[in-house]
Amino acid sequence: MTTTLITGANKGLGFETARRLIAAGHTVYVGSRDAERGRLAAERLGARHVRLDVTDDASVAAAVTAVEAGGGLDVLVNNAGIEARKDDGGVFGAAEVTADLMRTTFETNVFGLVRVTHAFLPLLRRSPSPVVVNVSSGLASLTGVTTEGSPAYAYPGVAYPASKSAVNMVTVQFAKAFPGMRINAVEPGFTATDLNGRTGTQTVEEGAEIIVRMAQVGPDGPTGGYVDASGPLPW
């Protein structure tokens, strides 16, 4: 039996990933920073739930205790993420971004991911086949944002793509440090969720595809990669 924790799984890509992994036979913990939203989502899915705010040490420590008491962890999906938006739905470009906006974005997308991964390492190390999936973005790619004509090139925001580039770096360094684990960064693609005011062009079913696939890699599967549904992406 494979036990999987997905952060930010009360809605969006995390919720759909939970649905698919339960169908594939995983025991899934829906991580949610709001206990009630998590409980309701887990009830709809037939999942377990655990309160987990990735920005909060005490919340993460309590989640580790709960998951350990439940039997341990094999797969961690670091999915929780935020993207700051203006009232008109636009993102904050280079002339508008502030240190505070960068800090807030990194607090969830980068420091939160590291906090959760670090806290669950002891449980993952006890698994016979530990897997970590870091939900990155196509906007993390320095090649993408500097290649005229690519979808990422036109995106003017600073904090969100910088945070996801950091996620890619964290992924690579963790993968090198823990060769017994499969640790990969994935790009779901532009998906209609609350993150982007539902402007994404893909469904959550399409977006969750690569998250679900990389959550199921075996001990001989890839590690240290950055992939979307069609294969490896340029860094």
Ligand X SMILES: NC(=O)c1ccc[n+]([C@@H]2O[C@H](COP(=O)([O-])OP(=O)(O)OC[C@H]3O[C@@H](n4cnc5c(N)ncnc54)[C@H](OP(=O)(O)O)[C@@H]3O)[C@@H](O)[C@H]2O)c1
Region near ligand X per CB under 6 A, out of 51-59, 85-93, 95-103, 122-130: 51-59
Q: Which of 86, 153, 160, 176 is catalytic?
A: 160
Binding residue for ligand X, selected from 19, 20, 26, 33, defined by CB under 6 A? 33
Q: Is residue 104 close enough to count as binding ligand X by CB under 6 A?
A: no
Check if 86 is active-site: no
* Contact call for residues 133 and 76 (beta carbons, < 8 A): yes
Check if 164 is active-site: yes
Q: Given the complex with ligand X, which of 187 and 209 has the nearer CB atom?
A: 187
In the sheet that holds 231-232, the strands lie side by side as: 48-51, 27-32, 3-6, 75-78, 131-135, 182-186, 226-228, 231-232
Binding residue for ligand X, selected from 22, 55, 127, 227, defined by CB under 6 A? 55
Q: Given the complex with ligand X, which of 111 and 129 has the nearer CB atom?
A: 111
Binding residue for ligand X, selected from 13, 67, 97, 132, defined by CB under 6 A? 13
Query: What CA–CA distance (Å, rounded) separates 71 from 99?
Result: 41
Give a three-class secondary structure readout of 57-125.
HHHHHHHHHHHHHCCCCCEEEECCCCCCCCCCCCCCCCCCCCHHHHHHHHHHHHHHHHHHHHHHHHHHH
Residues forming the site for ligand X (CB under 6 A): 7-8, 10-14, 33-34, 37, 52-55, 79-82, 108, 112, 135, 137, 187-188, 190-191, 193-196, 200
